[in-house]
Amino acid sequence: MSRGNALEALIAGLHGNPTDKADWQAVIALANHTLLTPDLFSSLARAGQIHQLPHDVREYLRFVHGCNRERNLRLRAQLREAVAVLNRSGIVPLLLKGAVPLFLSSAGRVPSRMMSDLDLAVDAGEETVATACLEGLGYRDVAGARGMARQKDAGMLELRSSRANCFAPPKLVRRDGLRVKIPPAQSRAMHWMVHDLLKEGDYWRGRIDLRHLHDLARLAESDDLDWTSLQRSMSDRTARNALDTQLLALHHFFGTRIPAKSAQRRIVRFQHWRRIFTATHPIIGAPLRLAGNLAWGTWRFSRAYGLARCRPSDLLRRVARTLFNPRAKI
């Protein structure tokens, strides 16, 4: 089965509509690569379509979903423990990305989203105290990675400094005696977009993080996102082009309603076409992907993101990791 057909069948499954005569081995391989296997099962189960799948496919998806559920329950307990120790020191952390729905989930029920870490932010003046609190729980910095971990846990915990944005302030949420701050939906959407398209370079490299795109689609369904205000908040023309390219992908894969003007600029339409083409034709689209990697590398060097201070061996390792590690992207 071609990558394009497998991608089409996976998207249909995430909509709760299993495709007839799908090559489920190829679909599952793509779902595993993009970290969407548990979401595929839960989407089909909610739609009452899970029994339409072949028995072995259904049982495999059920098994992965069950394992991920147990992992997320452990992550949820880990998150609550970290929030509790921070609260005792007067710190109310800001939850980011997957930590938000994980904290808000009811007891015994957790999101099906596959996660590898927990992201929290505190005010700059609270970082030292917050780090000491987590070290008191046994957390230690992980060599070669951003984050802290304990051997007994299901995932790492990444503590960072919170940054202001142009949207509404975070909302204070109290649950079971714990206090956290939840960013508004606009901020959460912008965080995902800026992280993937600009920080990870997906806009230049022609890549798509399908799991994050699925997250954005679900966020748009549950909250009234103002895409126009997001566009206005972008720092420059490149950032606005990147956002509109992501909006076109949202509409293409998940039918999300977006402003009509998002598709007006030629560069945006070309970037959207390039991402879809390389996602569905990874072999013949390889030259486009290589050109994008080179463009992103040039952009990074032009802004000296700490690369000039790297030793040659470290720089080569980072280049190789950047070019050859797909990181669950398509």
Instruction: Please give the pLDDT value at position 290.
Output: 86
Contact partners, residue 238, CB within 8 Å, separation at least 6: 203
- The alpha carbon of 236 is separated from its chain's Cα centroid by a whole number of angstroms, namely 23
Q: Mean of the per-residue pLDDT values for the chain?
A: 89
- For tokens 């679909």, the residue is 27
Q: What is the pTM of this model?
A: 0.89
Instruction: Please give the pLDDT value at position 30.
Output: 96
Q: How many CB atoms lie within 10 A of CB 62?
A: 15
CB 274 within 8 A of CB 32: no
Tell me 116's DSSP state: S
| 100 SS3 class | helix
Confidence of residue 17 (pLDDT cuts 50, 70, 90): very high
- For tokens 């649950």, the residue is 175
Instruction: Please give the pLDDT value at position 166.
Output: 63
Confidence of residue 322 (pLDDT cuts 50, 70, 90): low
CB 137 within 8 A of CB 82: yes
Per-residue pLDDT tens over the stretch 97-127:
999 999 998 877 899 999 989 999 999 899 9
Instruction: Please give the pLDDT value at position 216.
Output: 95
Taking residues 294-323, what's their average pLDDT?
62
For residues 281, 287, 289 and 293, what is the CA-based torsion angle, rounded to 10 degrees?
170
Provide the β-strand partners of residue 95. Answer: 120
Instruction: Please give the pLDDT value at position 116.
Output: 85
Residue 88 has, within 13 A of its CA and on its CB side, a CA count of 10
Cα separation, 158 vs 13, whole angstroms:
32
pLDDT beyond 70 at 303: no
Percent of the chain with pLDDT over 70: 91
- For tokens 């969407």, the residue is 36
Residue 260 has, within 13 A of its CA and on its CB side, a CA count of 0
Cα separation, 173 vs 179, whole angstroms:
6
Contact partners, residue 125, CB within 8 Å, separation at least 6: none
User: For residue 18, which of 33, 3, 31 has the smallest C-alpha distance?
Assistant: 31
The secondary structure of 2-20 as a DSSP string is -HHHHHHHHHHHHTT-PPT
Residues present in the chain in total:
330
CB 192 within 8 A of CB 165: no
Instruction: Please give the pLDDT value at position 307.
Output: 52
Instruction: Please give the pLDDT value at position 314.
Output: 56
Tokens of 128: 């030292």
CB 100 within 8 A of CB 188: yes
User: For residue 115, which of 71, 180, 60, 83 has the smallest C-alpha distance?
Assistant: 71
- Which residues of the chain form CATH 3.30.460.40? 79-183
Per-residue pLDDT tens over the stretch 147-178:
999 999 999 999 998 877 667 789 999 999 99
pLDDT beyond 80 at 16: yes
Instruction: Please give the pLDDT value at position 132.
Output: 96
Confidence of residue 305 (pLDDT cuts 50, 70, 90): low
Instruction: Please give the pLDDT value at position 324.
Output: 54
Taking residues 60-89, what's their average pLDDT?
96
Per-residue pLDDT tens over the stretch 207-244:
999 999 999 999 999 888 899 989 988 888 999 999 99
Instruction: Please give the pLDDT value at position 329.
Output: 87
- The dihedral of CA 119, 219, 293, 245: what is its sign? negative
User: For residue 205, which of 80, 318, 291 has the smallest C-alpha distance?
Assistant: 291
Taking residues 298-316, what's their average pLDDT?
60
Taking residues 279-291, what's their average pLDDT?
88
pLDDT beyond 60 at 304: no
Q: How many CB atoms lie within 10 A of CB 44?
A: 23
User: What CATH number labels 79-183?
Assistant: 3.30.460.40
